[in-house]
Structure 1
Amino acid sequence: MNNYIRIRKYISDYPETTVNGIYHKCFLSLLADTGARISEIMYIEKANVNFNNCEILLTQTKTKEDRIVYFTETSKPILKKMIQVKNDSKYLLYNIDKNRVSNYDDIRYILKQVKRQLNIKKLHPHMFRHTVATYLIESQMDLPSLMILLGHKNMETTKRYLHVSKKHVKKGYSDNMNKL
């Protein structure tokens, strides 16, 4: 969770002075906020971003079923800036330099920069999904809600994402056992 907090700070401070900066910050913000798969993030349609409710309708999902994911108020400004970047694509994440929809090479490049600048040894897109799931569970989100958020068909798949920290387990134990 420590690296996740460092990465969120990095995202917050990421420069937005160029179109690439907006693109990179938006990509990272979506990874850090939504818990969505990278393949789902790459195909977010501009029309499916609801700023009033801080939610995104994902229409290209692994399960082939539409679902809603959420983003934080903090990410709202960068998503708005990304939508305002001029291009003819219906997709939110469009690589202006390469004149194409985003792809895995783009996120690998962005994460390589993050790793280097924050001196993190291991970082890949799916780690964000795991971290979001763990954070939500540690913050008392119930498993059925998390299962829906992550787009899983069964609870066993969701349970694989749970990497509850020892500190959280100990606190839960202490909080409850000390009531005896």
Structure 2
Amino acid sequence: MKWENALKDYALFLNIERGLSTNSVSSYVLDVKKLVTFLDVNNINLCPTLISTVTIQEFIYASANSLNARSQARLISGLRSFFDYLIFEDYRSENPLELIESPKIGRKLPDTLSEEDIDDLIGAIDLSTNEGERNRAMLETLYSCGLRVSELTHLKLSDLYFDEGFINVTGKGDKQRFVPIVSSTIKYITIYIEQVRPHLNIQPGHEDTVFLNRRGRQLTRAMIFTIIKQLAVKIDLNKKISPHTFRHSFATHLLQNNADLRSIQLLLGHESITTTEIYVHLDKKHLTEVVKKFHPRK
């Protein structure tokens, strides 16, 4: 079995059988490609079915100098998944990473913005331009609906159910969920759709996409990162932020206002509630207030 063929089949498996997104599939495949590059550079001629634990350990040790503990753990996890796939397809009987331990890493808490920070960022948008109206609608949607950046860029006009107060969001693995949308965000999106979008030269294939660039095409993730970073510089916000920061802030602010974790899980589209539980660790002051308010020994 050649590495090239194995990777092609593995990518199809991740996409079709596991329902992973294109970005997730690319990340998993890249982990294995790093191993293949190591083998090529060191003239090690071993196919996927014959490579041993010793050789993979050599690769991981060689990579350790350029990777932090979190990245090493991610790499090991990706390789372990690939060889689990080979076992599943009966190409191997054992996983060569079974005895390789991942480095211990702490749980990284996501960065968040205060409500004032978000107001300042959105308030700094230049609304005298068409792009400004679009950017306000986008950031309001990111924050009020807790979307991932890919969910925002792929949002369709046909996904908007404003009369019912919901939008249909396509998340990881093409899983769909209905998310409530507040009236103020509906207003800003409507302004953009009715007053800005009709003046764009919309390209074929993008007619149903909500947020478009000046050339009438779907916005890229990188462009949204750039918009947010420029606004942060404009208001002298000394925080490292990204589109995902708005999603983290959405969840944190809901928790601070006593929303339950199960509801937040559904709104975020988390498959497991353990992913949502990270927000419990964000605000110790909030937890103290909860104990004071609800514990019988207060």
**Contact 2:124 / 2:231 at 8 angstroms: preserved in 1?**
no
**Contact 2:146 / 2:246 at 8 angstroms: preserved in 1?**
yes
SS for the counterpart of 1:116 is helix
Counterpart code for 1:83: I
Matched, 1:110 2:227: yes
Return the offset for 1:2.
5.7
User: How many residues of Structure 1 are paired with residues of Structure 2 in the alignment?
Assistant: 178
Matched, 1:168 2:279: no
Counterpart in 1 of 2:122? 11
Counterpart code for 1:36: L
**Contact 1:134 / 1:163 at 8 angstroms: preserved in 2?**
no
Counterpart in 1 of 2:3? none
**Contact 2:211 / 2:219 at 8 angstroms: preserved in 1?**
yes
Return the offset for 1:77.
1.7
**Contact 2:145 / 2:181 at 8 angstroms: preserved in 1?**
yes
Structure number with greater Rg is 2
SS for the counterpart of 2:208 is coil
Matched, 1:155 2:265: no
Return the offset for 1:160.
2.6
Structure 1 length normalisation: TM-score?
Answer: 0.87
Report which structure shows greater RCO (CA 8 Å, sep ≥6).
1
**Contact 1:94 / 1:101 at 8 angstroms: preserved in 2?**
yes
Counterpart code for 1:72: V
Matched, 1:43 2:154: yes
Matched, 1:124 2:235: no
Structure 2 length normalisation: TM-score?
Answer: 0.55
Matched, 1:140 2:262: no
Structure 2 unmatched runs, 5+ = 1-111
Counterpart in 1 of 2:95? none
**Contact 1:11 / 1:28 at 8 angstroms: preserved in 2?**
yes
SS for the counterpart of 1:24 is helix
**Contact 2:121 / 2:232 at 8 angstroms: preserved in 1?**
no
SS for the counterpart of 2:267 is helix
Structure 1 unmatched runs, 5+ = none
Counterpart code for 1:34: C
Return the offset for 1:162.
3.7
Q: Deviations for 1:114-136, whole angstroms, at most 9, x for unmatched residues? A: 21122123111111111111111
Q: Deviations for 1:34-63, whole angstroms, at most 9, x for unmatched residues? A: 1111101111101211222332101x3213
Matched, 1:53 2:164: yes
Return the offset for 1:173.
2.1
**Contact 1:46 / 1:83 at 8 angstroms: preserved in 2?**
no
Matched, 1:28 2:146: no
Instruction: Report the Cα distance in structure 1 between the residues aligned to 2:130 and 2:189, rounded to whole angstroms.
Output: 12
Please, what is the CA RMSD of the aligned residues? 2.1
Return the offset for 1:80.
0.1
Instruction: Report the Cα distance in structure 1 between the residues aligned to 2:281 and 2:119, rounded to whole angstroms.
Output: 19
**Contact 2:143 / 2:246 at 8 angstroms: preserved in 1?**
yes
